[in-house]
Amino acid sequence: MMRIFFTLLGMLLVLSGCASPKERMTERLSRTVEDGKILYGHQDDPAYGHAWLVTDWESDRLERSDVKEVSGRYPAVVGFDLGGIELGDSCNLDGVPFGLMRKAALAQLDRGGLVTFSWHPRNPLTGGDAWDISSDQVVKAILPGGEKHSEFQRWLERAAAFFASLGDAPVIFRPWHENLGSWFWWGGKLCTAEEYIALYRYTWTFLTQEKGLKNLLWCYSPNGPIPAELFLSRYPGDDCVDLLGTDIYEYPGAGENLRAAGERYAGEVQAMLATLQTLGAGHGKLICLSETGFEGLPDPQWWTGVLYPAIQGSGICYVLTWRNAHDKPGHFYAPWKGFENENDFKQFAEKEDIILL
């Protein structure tokens, strides 16, 4: 009922000509869900792919895409990561120039697609990477009053400048993700619930209130599968969240065959998305499968036999699979031209309820 209310409100705003870019994007995602459709996304899609890399981004038209070379269409959603922006680096942690990222994001939006940004910032207390969990004092140190607060403000200034360079183009921002695991310095065992909520809300307040950015749709995306009460245990609040997401990957256990692993993963995804659907209805939020995939795609029917049944009819607005590394042959999450199981993805992409551009 709440989703229907927001859909009607969005339609009225659009018809009145008063809708902001963010409101128009929210309305578009709401209509996608109401129509029973799911947008398909891929991380870093135009920057590189399996065994290829854009090297001269300023002159390159950024039209190559592993997904397009297999399916004939671009992904409807493209993901990028801001890791490295906080240091003033020219490239992110995976070597993607921020200039290329900006150009590719605007090109994706011009095609009628969506763009989502995650952020794996360095550890401001130790100097390590986002996975440096050697201290449980990092979040405390960057909050107001902490020894690294001024440095964190500079980090947010740099992130704000990048987002501002996109103009008023609406994009999804997904900071401090997978926060109930403990593999990032902002994770479950590395800070208290109160500290995490303060971190998320400070980030939101700084970017939206102090810097005046109105083009960000904020996604809260813990790792799953988890029960509803755990999902909400660090929820920063309805006022600073637009989408509820979750990150779930398929990882076969020791001695587990592909069929058993696929069935277990599909069950986990179905259960988590059912939880999100309930939470989304209760909080008036859209939902998504913000990260997922199976590294190397060893299951020849993963797309049509595992992922599709897991997300069909789930109420999510989009699903995003992770990147195809150009320099790691086995590190890919979408098919590429010549991949032995690419036809399975073609069949997935041709499903009536799966949307590519």
Nearest in space to 348 (alpha carbons), one of 317, 319, 324 = 319
Query: How far from chain centre, in Å, is Cα 318?
Result: 9
Grouping H, G, I as helix, E, B as strand and the rest as coil, residue 279 is helix
For the segment 261-281, the average pLDDT, to the nearest whole number, is 98
Residue 214: predicted pLDDT: 94
pLDDT in tens, 33-67: 999 999 999 999 999 999 999 999 999 999 999 99
Query: What are the tokens at 348?
Result: 């997935």
Confidence bin at 5 (pLDDT 50/70/90): very low
pLDDT per position as a tens digit, 178-207: 999 999 999 999 999 999 999 999 999 999
Residue 125 — φ and ψ, nearest 5°?
A: -90, -40
Please give the mean pLDDT across all residues of the chain: 95
Q: How many residues does the chain have?
A: 357
Mean pLDDT across 283-290: 98
- Among residues 130, 128, 156, 129, the alpha carbon closest in space to that of 142 is found at 156
Helices (H), the chain: 2-16, 21-34, 66-71, 98-110, 138-142, 149-164, 193-204, 228-231, 258-283, 302, 308-311, 342-349
Quick: pLDDT tens for 79-131: 999 999 999 999 999 999 999 999 999 999 999 999 999 999 999 999 999 99
Q: What is the pLDDT of residue 355?
A: 98
Q: CB-based contacts of 9: which residues, under 8 Å, 6+ apart? A: none
Tell me the pTM. 0.95
Domain residue ranges of the chain, discontinuous segments joined by +:
36-355
Each residue's pLDDT tens digit, 128-172: 999 999 999 999 999 999 999 999 999 999 999 999 999 999 999
Q: How confident is the model at residue 348 (pLDDT cuts 50, 70, 90)?
A: very high
Instruction: Give yes or no for residue 4 having a pLDDT over 60.
Output: no
| pLDDT at 17 > cutoff 90 | no
- 15 versus 233: the higher-pLDDT residue is 233
How buried is 134 (Cβ within 10 angstroms: 0-12 exposed, 13-18 middle, 19+ buried)?
A: exposed
DSSP letter (8 states) at residue 104: H
* Predicted confidence (pLDDT) at residue 16 exceeds the cutoff of 90: no
Q: Where does 36-355 sit in CATH, by number?
A: 3.20.20.80
Compute the average pLDDT of residues 301-322.
98
Q: Does 2 have pLDDT greater than 50?
A: no
Tell me how far apart the alpha carbons of residues 353 and 251 are, in angstroms, rounded to a whole number.
26
Residue 145, token pair as written in the block: 């009053």
Residue 102 tokens, joined: 């900006």
Cα distance between residue 333 and residue 54, in whole Å: 19
- Identify the pLDDT of residue 312: 98
What pLDDT, on the 0 to 100 scale, is given for residue 19? Answer: 85
Structure tokens at 101: 């990222």
- For residue range 233-264, what is the model confidence (pLDDT) as tens digits? 999 999 999 999 999 999 999 999 999 999 99
